[in-house]
Amino acid sequence: MITNIIPTDGLNYDISRMKDVKLLMSPTDLKFLIRMLKIRNPKKILEIGVCNGGSSYYLLKESSPKSIVHSVDIETECPHDRTKMCGYTVEENLNREIWENRWIKHLGMDVIDCIDEIGGDIDFVLIDTVHTMPGEFLSYLAIIPYLKKGAVVVLHDVYDNYHEIINGKMLTTWNADSFCTGLLLSSVPSKKKYMPDDDVPNIGAFIQSGKEMDYVMDVLRALFVKWRYIPEEMMDKYSVMIREKYGEKASKFFDECLKMQYEIKNGKYLDFA
């Protein structure tokens, strides 16, 4: 249930540099992100999905100078400009004093590979990666045990499929399958969810209730929809993590889901579409 709608019109944050820093968000999305930061005033921030570094720029600029920001991207070179590293726009646009001793980049890896090093007590997260299944679901499952009760988790591009199609930007069928963060937002067992007051918002957030370990099956069940891709090189790590962190029942469920995804991929089931 979406319990809190945030009006973003009246928020007077300085977002004038969003184009310079090549942020991949709309003005409404950015105002919502900053509002969530101000509500929580976090000490330990985790960003998953960096690209140019536009969201890193605002997470660093708008949070307390005493906070630490960990930024994770599976790529080392920026997918939008391969001559530069992910996050380059922070170094190019933000005063060094603001980020120098509080920004830790984890590039060329998935969050499952660095979450132990990042450690617990995370109280603010932005997840903004592929948007197709199983994408952000896996990232979220990898970090739940490291989140503080009351942590804010912001998900971007929650209705990317809708927005890409309506705006006529849809180039491939990939975008039509771009509903992963929306499904995640719907399936998390949080009673406190937030969205901006757009007709069809493209960003949302929820608060960790602290009971996620008990309700992880709600999240796992949603994984049974057809995946857009199987990140094969990471699946063993995820299977082991699910067993270790969430127990035998969750592990059997996840492995069954994975088996089904491979069967679909290998054409075992007829496509009636």
Ligand X SMILES: C[S@@+](CC[C@H](N)C(=O)[O-])C[C@H]1O[C@@H](n2cnc3c(N)ncnc32)[C@H](O)[C@@H]1O
Binding of ligand X by 69 (CB under 6 A): no
Listed residue (73, 66, 187) closest to 123, CA to CA = 66
Looking at the Cβ atoms of 33 and 222, the one nearer to ligand X is: 33
Q: Token pair for residue 94?
A: 């933000």
Of positions 25, 94, 155, 257, contacts ligand X by CB under 6 A: 25
**Stretch of 123-131, 195-203, 208-216, 263-271 lying at the interface with ligand X (CB under 6 A):** 123-131
The residue count for binding ligand X (CB under 6 A) is 22
* Chain center to CA of 129: 6
On the 0-12 / 13-18 / 19+ scale of CB atoms within 10 A, 269 is: exposed
Listed residue (68, 64, 22, 28) closest to 47, CA to CA = 68
Looking at the Cβ atoms of 67 and 209, the one nearer to ligand X is: 67
Binding of ligand X by 130 (CB under 6 A): yes
Q: Which residues between 171 and 210 bind ligand X (CB under 6 A)?
A: none
Of positions 72, 155, 180, 242, contacts ligand X by CB under 6 A: 72
* Separation CA 192–CA 118 (nearest Å): 26
**Stretch of 69-77, 186-194, 218-226, 236-244 lying at the interface with ligand X (CB under 6 A):** 69-77
Of positions 11, 13, 17, 24, contacts ligand X by CB under 6 A: 24
CB of 238 to ligand X, least distance (A): 11
CB of 191 to ligand X, least distance (A): 27
CB of 17 to ligand X, least distance (A): 12
Binding of ligand X by 164 (CB under 6 A): no
Looking at the Cβ atoms of 42 and 49, the one nearer to ligand X is: 49
Looking at the Cβ atoms of 84 and 102, the one nearer to ligand X is: 84
Give contact residues for ligand X (rule: CB under 6 A). Answer: 23-25, 48-52, 54-55, 72-75, 79, 86, 110-111, 128-130, 139
